[in-house]
Amino acid sequence: MTLVYDLIPLDFPQYCAPLFTAVFRGWLHETVEYSHGIICISETTRRDVERFCRDIGRRSPLLDHFRLGSDLDLLDSRGQVREEIRRLCVQGSKLFLTVGSIDVRKNHPFALDAFERVWASDADAALVVVGRASGDVGAILKRMKEHPKAGSRLFFFQDANDSELDYLYRHARALIFPSAAEGFGLPLVEARQRGCFVLASDIAAFRELADAGVRLFSLADAKNLALCVLDVLAGPSQSPPPMPVFNWKASAEQFLDKIRSIARIDP
């Protein structure tokens, strides 16, 4: 039995080192050849594995998927929240948040392009970027740190703790999630469970997760996101009801059920 998170190294090799893509391809060939069953973290990834098997002309193993969990009490507001973040959250109706590692596929430059359009329209909005650098992203970091709006409308935290992240989710007007590729999308779930509205890229994994509090935008042009941000600013500040909590205990139980179900099927 094998667990697969995503096929990003194959479907989006531009975001991975060539050696990593080559090793992953070899591993996946072996996996579909010898695994009795493959369980994926989303229906999106399950379909991707099914397509991979079809493309290489192999019969797929038994395939299924389960949902990852997110516990509200794993990110809470009982810890320390620095004063700088509390001050930012006073303007919550104008505060937009991105969460995730600073990585090329997370598309931070796209978000910045969109907010430069928003700021050019004289809209009073702030963008808070939360995440640690991952990989060769020096150009992205330089652009954020040296941006003319840095410290006034653009804020960057590489060291936010869980309590601070929880605080930001609960006070932001919306989460911005412009990733080009994902197998799941945990920040989307974390934000919606706290009642935060979400603007997310229109990719398969996010379409699978989206509820009434998620608006999807095309990655064809940053103006699409800019228009979404302006619409949110002009609309009511009240978000739809929070997404129901699906915690890690429920996720683990679902995962075990999938394993048992596949194990009962004679190959």
Query: Given a cut of 90, is residue 74 above it in pLDDT?
Result: no
Reported in sequence order, the residue ranges of the chain that DSSP labels E, i.e. its strands, are 2-4, 37-40, 62-65, 95-99, 126-130, 154-157, 174-177, 197-201, 214-217
Q: Which two tokens stand for residue 137?
A: 């992203």
- Is residue 135 classed exposed, middle or buried when 0-12, 13-18 and 19+ CB atoms within 10 A define those classes? middle
| Per-residue pLDDT tens digits for 186-235 | 999 999 999 999 999 999 999 999 999 999 999 999 999 999 999 999 98
Q: Whole-structure pTM over 0.95, yes or no?
A: no
Instruction: Find out whether 102 and 130 touch, Cβ atoms under 8 Å.
Output: no
> How confident is residue 108, by pLDDT bands cut at 50, 70 and 90?
very high
Mean pLDDT within 3-29: 96
